[in-house]
Structure formats: structure tokens, C-alpha cells
Amino acid sequence: MEIQKLYDPDDIEFEDIAIGLVRLAKDVPAHEFFYKINQINGLAFSRKKDVIIHGAYYDYFFPRFEAYHKSTKTCFTFISNRSSESKQKKLQTELFTEEENIKFLLNNQVDVEYILHTSEQIPDFSVILLPENLVFPIQDYTLSSEEELYQIIQYYE
């Protein structure tokens, strides 16, 4: 007897994800940045398990912070765009590998410090007040289902 397929993988439609790109105006440590956000908003952003990406030569760790907004019942997640730590798995023997000890989730946006994601289909990032002199306005950005970050967000959601 054959096992019946419940769905056809080619038939599934993937929707794009809207995220926010957060650029800092000053170089501020993460704990100070989230302390100020928590003070302004009355939210409790806390560090969660890091996003981990396994490369051929390194494992990369990206800090992740989450808070739950009680009135809108929304979960907000900040993920660092730049890896905070990398652990070398094996020695690079090739001369021109594309893998370095620092990785960015969005390679074309290296000036972005954090990626802001919400559990809502249509995100409203204006609910979170950001410290005025510390952060530039949040830039809306759309991820398509083909991008690596899309898959990572789906996995950690």
C-alpha cells in the first residue's frame, strides 16, 4: 500500500515577508540599545536562542531578541544582521573560498544592525518607539521565498 501525499510541494504558494531594517546612528552595545527600547515602550525585549547558520567552514551565531506586545498581541523579533560569533569547524585549504569568519544575513545591507520581524501578516513597526538619537527610521523591506533569510525566519518562527 502506498503512502498518500497530503500536499504537492510544487503547489504551495509562499507569501513574501515584510521586515524592517534597523540602522543605528551610534555604535551602541546590544544590552544598552534594548534597555532603552524597553524603557520607552514598556516592553520586555529579552535575548532568545541565537539564530545559527551552519557553513562549510564556520558556524555563525546571530543574537535574537524578542518581546510580546500585550495590547496588539504581537511578537516582535530583532535579529542581528551581523554574526556576533563564529566557530571554525575545519581549516580552509582552498585559496578563494567565499566563506569568512564574519557573516551578514543580508549581504547587500551590511550597514543594517538589526532585522525586525513581527508575527503579524501586515507588520506595523510604528508600534515600537525607538530612541530618537540612536536609530534612523525603520526601512521596510520585503523578503521573497527564494532568499535564505526568508527560510531562516520561517524556521525560527
For the chain, give me the number of helices (H) and strands (E)? 2, 7
pLDDT per position as a tens digit, 123-142: 778 778 888 889 999 999 99
Distances in Å between the Cα of 28 and the Cα atoms of 24, 38, 69, 122, 146 are 8, 15, 24, 29, 32
Model confidence pTM above 0.85: no
pLDDT digits (tens, 9 = 90+) for 92-134: 777 666 778 899 999 889 999 999 998 877 777 877 888 888 9
If one counts every other C-beta atom within 10 angstroms of the C-beta of residue 93, the result is 7
